[in-house]
Structure 1
Amino acid sequence: MRLDWQWRPTLAVAGKEFRDRVRNRWVVAVAVVFAAFALLIAYFGGAQGGEVGFRGIAVTVASLTSLAIYLVPLIALLLGFDAIVGERERGTLDLMLSMPLTRAEILVGKYLGLAGALSLATLGGFGAALLPLLGRLDGAGVRMYLGFVGSTALLGLAFLSLAVLISTLARERARASGAAIATWFGFVLVFDLALLGVLVATAGRGASAWAPYVLLLNPADVFRVLNLYGNDALRGAFGLGTLLPQHWNDPILLCGAMLAWILAPLGLALWRFR
């Protein structure tokens, strides 16, 4: 096994992983699900209130953000939890390590292949849903929707990094799947409930000094702030205006936090796999 790093074998591993996902129609299935949910929410999101039809891009993005927080992390975790441990259980990992491939090339290649498939499904699905809405949107509306689609792709990549980290830590595929589900519950459900409990218990005293930094510990919350805090109406509706300082609507800061959530777990996974 070589000790140096080369991009050509890395891309070869990535290409195989990506082609496997496309060949089994995983990308198409997820893209269709995303597009269908986006269109249904855009046109029928207000049906429970007796309203049917497109109600505006801000309301649509808010509804899609709530949906994506639950759906995208789950899909990303299920996609990547067996990236390494699955190869180990099937006995193919030893075969790959016997080839002129370094451990870094294998792990990064598998991550890039899975990331390409997940990003294609996300961008293709939610992007396709934009086409029927174009006639109803102005330039600002299109930018808002594209910002949502791009941040959704970042959210998926962050949880895919966590899935690959789980896959390198787990010794069995069953344990990896359980850890992936526990990670989804922890970040998507338990984290916000715990934060809400602390805010209620302290009556929100001094929350603006520490709560914004606590939100950075959860990529799902970074995604939520990134999509909801930039709009005045949504900021007030979701109570973010009283919790977060004004400078927290900087997309560069929030995108940087999302990139950190992508790179940090992947770096830990690479260290563990080596």
Structure 2
Amino acid sequence: MQLQPILTVATKEFHDRIRNRWVLAVALVFAVFSLVITYFGGAQQGVVGFRSIEITIASLVSLVIYLIPLIALLLGFDAIVGERERGSLDLLLSMPITRLELLLGKYLGLATALTASMIGGFGVVIALLFGKIGARGLYHFAGFMFSSVLLGLAFLSIAVLLSVIARDRTRASGLAIAAWFFFVLVFDLLMLGLLVGTGGSIGGDAFTWLLLLNPADVFRILNVFSLDDVRTLYGLASIVPPALGNPLAMGAVMLVWIVAPLLLAQWRFKS
């Protein structure tokens, strides 16, 4: 495996997103939604305006869990199957580039575009709130941003895997939407149903390990345990043992969610 072909493909993918203004559009979406939630997230309690970095992060966690997986899946679902459908995949593979290099280049370019859009959007929030949150708040918000990037990269890996598996773009888009519904909406309902259906016999550590099967829940746990006030706002604080509040441990789990789908995609792409 050589680095130059990977960087060439990645640069092309990133420049394509810049030219079609995808990065700017997504950054604008993140900025607008983040600012609205930051200033109006407490309106239902009769409070408007910035309250604290803890409350802000707690509110933004819900936004990120719904929005970032959807954007990442829509960004990467046609990474491979789109080239195959356009007839350009065979042309690319006829050049001095391996399937692994092509796959990694596609992923790296899309990941760079996704990361740039998120940092740009959240960066607007930091710029506007810097005088109110101080150095400590900036540290916690930076951690939140980093975990958000990891979540986006995890779902981008899943999108690339689906793009390799699907036979056409229509099926790939359907699989991407189905994956979003499963991980963001259905999974937690299944866990709740399992907990209630078994009368609570499956709980404690067993229930916690099941939550690690969903990158969205890993992200939630990572941010719930990052701040004391945020733990209080989420019911997960009464379920998840403090051992999993270690940011390094949860970060490692997120890395597994990034790498594992890519390994599966490479295995499938080779066959």
Give the TM-score category using the shorter length.
Answer: over 0.9
Residue 36 of structure 1 contacts residue 129 of structure 1 at CA under 8 Å; is this kept in 2? no
Q: Secondary structure at the match of 1:124?
A: helix
SS class of match (1:244): coil
CA distance in 1, matches of 2:219, 2:157: 15
Aligned to 1:193: 189
Q: Where do residues 29-108 of structure 1 align in structure 2 (5 Å cutoff)?
A: 29-108=25-104
Note the alpha carbon deviations across 1:2-35, whole angstroms, 9 max, x for none: xxx1100110000000000011000000001101
Equivalents in 1 of 2:269, 2:197: separation in Å? 42
User: Which stretch of structure 1 is more off in the superposition, 191-200 or 251-260?
Assistant: 191-200
User: Which residue in the other structure is 1:135 paired with?
Assistant: 131
- Please name the residue that 1:245 is paired with: 241
Distance 2:237 2:30 in 1: 29
Contact 2:58 2:233 in 1 (8 A): no
Do structure 1's residue 210 and structure 2's residue 206 form an aligned pair?
A: yes
Q: Distance in 1 between matches of 2:90 and 2:81?
A: 12
Percent identity reads: 60
Greater mean alpha carbon deviation, residues 81-90 or residues 200-209: 200-209
Correspondence 1:158 to 2:154: yes
- Structure 1 window deviating more from structure 2 (224-233 vs 246-255): it is 224-233
Gaps spanning 5+ residues in structure 2: where?
Answer: none
1:197: how far off?
1.4
CA deviation profile, 1:83-132 (whole Å, cap 9, x unmatched): 00000000010110111111111110000000000000011111221111
| Residue-pair matches, total | 270
Q: Is the 8 A contact 2:14 2:109 kept in 1?
A: yes
The one of 106, 122, 135 aligned to 1:110: 106
* Matched residue, 1:256: 252
Matching residue within 93, 116, 122 for 1:120: 116
Q: Is the 8 A contact 2:37 2:56 kept in 1?
A: yes
Please tell me the root mean square deviation across aligned C-alpha atoms, in Å: 1.1
Q: CA deviation at 1:242?
A: 2.0
Unaligned runs of 5+ in 1: none
Alignment check: 8 A CA contact 1:127 1:149 kept: no
Task: Determine the C-alpha separation between the residues in 2 that align with 1:226 and 1:99.
Answer: 43
- Write out per-residue CA displacement over residues 166-193 of structure 1, whole angstroms, 9 at most, x where no aligned residue: 0000111100000000000010000001
Structure 1 residues 168, 206: closer, same or farther in 2, change over 3 A? closer
Over 6 Å off, 4+ runs: none
Residue 64 of structure 1 aligns with an amino acid whose one-letter code is: L
More displaced stretch, 70-79 vs 52-61: 52-61
Kept in 1, the 8 Å contact 2:82–2:169? The answer is yes
| Structure 1 residues 190-223: Cα deviation after superposition (integer angstroms, max 9, x where no partner) | 0001111122233434511201111110000000
Normalising by structure 2, report the TM-score: 0.97
Instruction: Quote the Cα distance in structure 2 between the aligned partners of 1:204 and 1:230.
Output: 27
Normalising by structure 1, report the TM-score.
0.96
Instruction: Give SS of 1:100's match.
Output: coil
Deviations 1:147-182 (A, max 9, x none): 111110000000000000000001111000000000
- The whole-number CA distance in structure 1 between the counterparts of 2:164 and 2:189 is 29
SS at match of 1:207: coil
